[in-house]
Structure 1
Amino acid sequence: MKNNTIKKAGLYIRTSTDNQQDSIHLQRQELRNYCHSKGWVVHEEYIDFGFSGKDTERPAFQNIMQDAEDGKFQILLVTKIDRFARSIIDCLVSVEKLESYCVSFAATSQPIDTSSAMGKLTLQIMASFAEFERSIINERMTAGRRAAEQRGVICHRPKKEIPSKKLEELIEKGLSANACGKYFGVTASTITNRLINYGYVYENGEWKKEEH
């Protein structure tokens, strides 16, 4: 007998900086098309702008875990696993938590779908290789930096002072983290990190001060 239950999907989209609109659009389109091909309904699109995959305190990521626990969708979709998490431990722990809520995890451009045993195995293998590759890159970068320091090259820049009052003023005027970064001469990621430290969250396309 055919199962007529329509599955609800949560779509997770992430960029490391908040000015990658093309990346957001491409990820969104790929995930929507995948849902359409499966006959699934999109419950919600969860988007984290300007957050590293290493940071598990991402606002949209946290919303996903809460909604999964509340049973609002049955599968979480990403385009690639590194959009979801950058370390194998974070990835597997988060996927295991999703499964405890009866939520599957799948990557549309990779053969990963935890609703099957093969999909789970593929996830573990790919996550392991991804972390191994990053470890090798980090080791090379560390070795290069040490060699440069031994030659007297200064590799670390002092942390730039960003006046919180001025930053908040620019944000209140509607400037993006990228625009603020250009104003202060730093990267958008630096601005994003400072805003989070100042108690801001990114919601519905804008930065807002959290109310306590």
Structure 2
Amino acid sequence: MSTTDQHLGLQEEALRAAGCEMVRAEKRSGTTTEGRTELLTLMDFARRGDTIVVTRIDRLARSIADLAALVRELEAKGVALRATEQPVDTSTAAGRCFLQMLGVFAEFETNLRRERQLEGIAKAKAEGVYKGRPRSIDAAAVRAMAAEGLGGSEIARRLGIGRASVYRLLGDTKVAPVQPVSPA
């Protein structure tokens, strides 16, 4: 499993050299198992006595929780997990121990990368370089409709946006929707 900026060729060659008859690949982040259709297919296809081989454990999962869940599911099916570049083989006690240690370090590395990214964004914002994505909501239209007395749900419906976006914008600008006053 690999992100879109990586090439799968070397990983596929390593897996074939390790004796893999079938190679499944997808260019998705290993930071979550969500949306990883090839991983789901692989997990469904694996049968008792099979061994799933990856080049490195971080190709499979980067969070210890996801890794543990995958390994538990494999163990319940009687399927082993082996890595070609690391001494991981869940059919042995030492391999299972090393797998758990690698999972902890992979999660630690992911968290460090995320922290560095957030620090870089904060620095860029402070320097006026990073401004985030362009606004996709017409704030003036939201304010004008609110001034006309329309409620958040109606504004959201007319503009095709979420109500939370309307309320967030109105809250940020300190413009509250006008409440109609009933005659006394």
Cα distance change, pair 83–155 in 1 and its aligned pair in 2 (3 A): farther
2:44 to 66, 69, 94: 66
Structure number with bigger Rg: 2
C-alpha separation in 1, matches of 2:16 and 2:112 = 34
Note if 1:95 corresponds to 2:82: no
C-alpha separation in 1, matches of 2:124 and 2:84 = 41
SS in 2 for 1:137: helix
Q: What percentage of residue pairs aligned between the two structures are identical?
A: 37
Cα distance change, pair 95–52 in 1 and its aligned pair in 2 (3 A): same
TM-score of the superposed pair, with normalisation by structure 1: 0.57
Aligned length: 135
Stretches of 4+ aligned residues off by more than 6 angstroms:
none
1:82 to 47, 58, 66: 58
Q: What is the aligned partner in structure 2 of residue 179 from structure 1?
A: none
Gaps of 5+ in 2: 137-184
C-alpha separation in 1, matches of 2:105 and 2:132 = 30
What's the Cα RMSD here?
Answer: 2.2
| Letter of the 1:46 counterpart | R
Deviation, 1:107, is 0.6
Higher normalized contact order (CA 8 Å, seq sep 6+, divided by chain length): 1
TM-score of the superposed pair, with normalisation by structure 2: 0.65
| Letter of the 1:150 counterpart | A
Asked if the contact 1:67–1:73 (Cα under 8 Å) also holds between the matched residues in 2, the reply is no
Note if 1:104 corresponds to 2:80: yes
1:99-178 alignment runs, 5 A limit: 99-158=75-134
Q: Quick check: which one's strand share is greater?
A: 1
Q: What is the aligned partner in structure 2 of residue 30 from structure 1?
A: 14
C-alpha separation in 2, matches of 1:54 and 1:63 = 18
